[in-house]
C-alpha cells in the first residue's frame, strides 16, 4: 500500500512539474505578445512623427491619404495584437488553474502518505513497546524465581 502511494505521489509530482512548465510557457507567451504590441505601438508613433515632419514641408493629398491608410492598418494591427494578448492571458490563467489544482493533488497525496507512514511508525512503536514490556516482565519473573 505504501509503495503504491509513493508511486502515486511521484506521478502526481511529475504532473505538477509539467503543469508548472506549461504555465511558465504560457506566461512567457503573454510577455512576448505584449512586447510585440509595444513594438507595433512604437513603430506607429515613429511613423506618425515622420508624417508630421514631412507634412511640414508639404505633401500631396494622395500621399497624405496613403499615410493615413497605413496608420489605420497599424491601428488595426495593434487592436488584433491586443486580442492575441487577451487570448494568451486566458490560456495562461487556465494553465495556472490546472497547475494549482495539481499542487492540491500533490499535497493531498503527500499528506495521505505521511499519515500512512506515521500510522506504520506508531504500530511499530507499539509492537516494540509490547516486546520491551514482555522482556521486562520475563526478567522480573526470572528474578523472582531465582530469589525463591
Residue 45 lies in a domain: yes
pTM surpassing 0.75? no
Q: Is residue 51 part of a domain?
A: yes
Q: In this predicted structure, which of 36-50, 55-69, 72-86, 116-130 has the lowest mean pLDDT? A: 55-69
- Whether residue 30 contacts residue 92, with contact meaning beta carbons closer than 8 Å, is answered with yes
- Which is more confidently placed, 126 or 53? 126
- pLDDT bucket at 146, cuts 50 / 70 / 90: confident
Q: Where are the alpha helices (DSSP H) in the chain?
A: 2-57, 61-147
The single residue listed with the C-alpha cell 512623427 is: 49
Q: pLDDT for 46-60, tens place per residue?
A: 999 988 887 777 778
Task: Give me the pLDDT at residue 1, please.
Answer: 63
| 32 in a structural domain | yes
Q: 88: domain range?
A: 2-110
Does residue 119 sit within a domain? no
Q: What is the CATH number of the domain that holds 86?
A: 1.10.287
Burial 121-135 (b: 16+ CB within 10 A, else e): eeeeeeeeeeeeeee
Q: How confident is the model at residue 148 (pLDDT cuts 50, 70, 90)?
A: low
Report the domain count for the chain.
1
Amino acid at each position: 500500500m505504501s509503495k503504491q502511494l509513493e508511486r502515486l505521489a511521484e506521478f502526481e509530482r511529475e504532473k505538477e512539474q509539467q503543469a508548472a512548465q506549461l504555465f511558465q510557457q504560457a506566461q512567457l507567451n503573454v510577455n512576448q505578445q505584449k512586447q510585440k504590441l509595444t513594438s507595433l505601438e512604437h513603430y506607429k508613433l515613429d511613423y506618425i512623427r515622420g508624417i508630421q515632419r514631412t507634412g511640414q514641408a508639404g505633401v500631396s493629398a494622395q500621399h497624405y491619404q496613403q499615410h493615413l491608410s497605413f496608420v489605420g492598418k497599424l491601428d488595426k494591427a495593434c487592436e488584433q495584437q491586443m486580442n492575441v494578448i487577451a487570448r494568451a492571458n486566458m490560456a495562461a490563467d487556465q494553465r495556472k488553474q490546472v497547475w494549482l489544482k495539481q499542487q492540491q493533488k500533490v499535497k493531498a497525496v503527500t499528506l495521505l502518505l505521511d499519515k500512512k507512514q506515521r500510522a506504520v511508525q506508531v504500530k511499530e512503536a507499539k509492537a516494540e513497546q509490547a516486546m520491551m514490556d514482555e522482556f521486562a516482565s520475563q526478567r522480573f519473573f526470572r528474578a523472582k524465581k531465582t530469589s525463591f
